[in-house]
Amino acid sequence: MAVVVRARGLVKVYGQGRAAVRILDGLDLDLHTGELVAITGRSGSGKSTLLNVVGALDRVDVGSVELCGIRLEEASERELAPVRRDRVGFVFQSFHLLPELTGLENVLLPARLNGRRPSRERGVELVEQLGLGGAAGRLPAVLSGGEQQRLAIARALVNDPQLVLADEPTGNLDAESGQTVLELLRSIADEGRAVLLVTHEREATRRADRVLRLEEGRLR
């Protein structure tokens, strides 16, 4: 399996002086193609911070992150933009669908941001693959939470990223919809992508290849 993420000695500090909190403290992580890794830990332990760092949304104070062979700490913000857009797919607990766009238009949005004409065929393929044919032409407000989250996953995949980051993706879903989303994330990893999942759900950890707990700034 190829290495998608290699992180070494990550340190991230919030605040200054006595108020400073070392949220990441010498953290190491390797993530490979075809692998689903679940990150657990108490609220405030730094799980979302770790996703943001790995996904090039935030920078560490100390340490190195290599994503698909690119050293993130050495890249400028201009260089990081296409990394985030093309190599990483983000799935959030709150869906973040644009309310004025239909389901399919939301799915195609990252391709539009890519500066190229989005492939409607690719969007339709993903929507159908995820069982969302009926949601393609509807606005998010009339869709269920499960449908919205599956659209968010389709949107994360439209640019064929090597890495999918999912931050509590079942947190706002009922049990049945949550199961469907977890099955989708498992299948995404089985297709050869790397998936890093932050979760509190026992069912999510059962589907992971590895379960790591973030404690005192390190993975254990």
Could you report the per-residue pLDDT of 87-137, keeping only the tens digit for each?
A: 999 998 889 999 999 999 999 988 877 666 656 788 888 888 888 888 999
Q: Which residue has the higher pLDDT, 178 or 65?
A: 65
Q: Whole-model pTM above 0.95?
A: no
- Residue 85 in any domain: the answer is yes
- Residue 200 in any domain: the answer is yes
Q: What is the domain-level CATH number for residue 180?
A: 3.40.50.300
Vertex 169 angle, CA 122 and 201, to 5°:
140
- Position 200 confidence tier, pLDDT thresholds 50, 70, 90: very high
Q: At residue 170, what are phi and psi to the nearest 5 degrees? A: -105, 5
Cα–Cα distance between 48 and 12 in angstroms, integer?
12
pLDDT of residue 115: 61
pLDDT of residue 112: 78
- Residue 146 in any domain: the answer is yes
- Residue 164 in any domain: the answer is yes
